[in-house]
Amino acid sequence: MANAYWIGPRGQIIDVPMRHIGNVISDPKKFGLDKPFISKIYRKYHEPMGREGKAREEIMILLMKNGWIRVRKGMNEWVVQVWNLTDARKNYIWDFIVTGMKKGQLHKYSQVTVQDIRDHHVVSSSVDELVKSLFERKKTKKIKIKELLPKTLGN
């Protein structure tokens, strides 16, 4: 796993090798955009293409409104940004957490902050506590955090 990702509107996890906006600019079709549209937004703010300023912010928010979830690893936590934390988006975040745990990049004590940009709501806790609070209904999958840990850590 990398240190940044996009989770698509259908739940696909996409590695971000450098910067989120770089992924969008290099393959705008994947995100439902095109280069002329992106250029227009950058010109609106008099910013060079790719700058992490107001144009980038507008594009990120547009993508999140269209169902994209932005994930990045900070110094001490994972930050997940979403526009409207629906049940479907919770499922995609859950799948991301499970994938991260299986690959050993996340563990039950990893700090995760979920930011609902639309509602200005933030939940920040360990994976273990996040699963208990946001994903309580996921018990139907019968997956326990302990089961996701490598055998040497789980015992």
User: What pTM value is reported for the model?
Assistant: 0.85
Detail the DSSP E strand segments found in 13-99: 13-15, 69-73, 78-82
- Candidates 124, 126, 120, 86; CA nearest to 106 is 126
Give the separation between CA 141 and CA 136, rounded to whole angstroms. Answer: 11
- The CB density around residue 85, as the number of other CB atoms within 10 Å, is 20
Q: Say what the pLDDT of residue 1 is.
A: 52
List the chain pLDDT tens, one digit each, 155 residues. 579 999 999 999 999 998 999 999 999 999 999 999 999 999 999 999 999 999 999 999 999 999 999 999 988 899 999 999 999 999 999 999 999 999 888 988 999 999 999 999 998 889 988 877 766 644 444 444 445 444 434 33
| Inter-residue contact 25 to 17 (CB < 8 Å) | no
Give the separation between CA 62 and CA 82, rounded to whole angstroms. Answer: 11
The number of helix segments (H) and strand segments (E) in the chain equals 7, 6
Tokens, residue 83: 């526009």
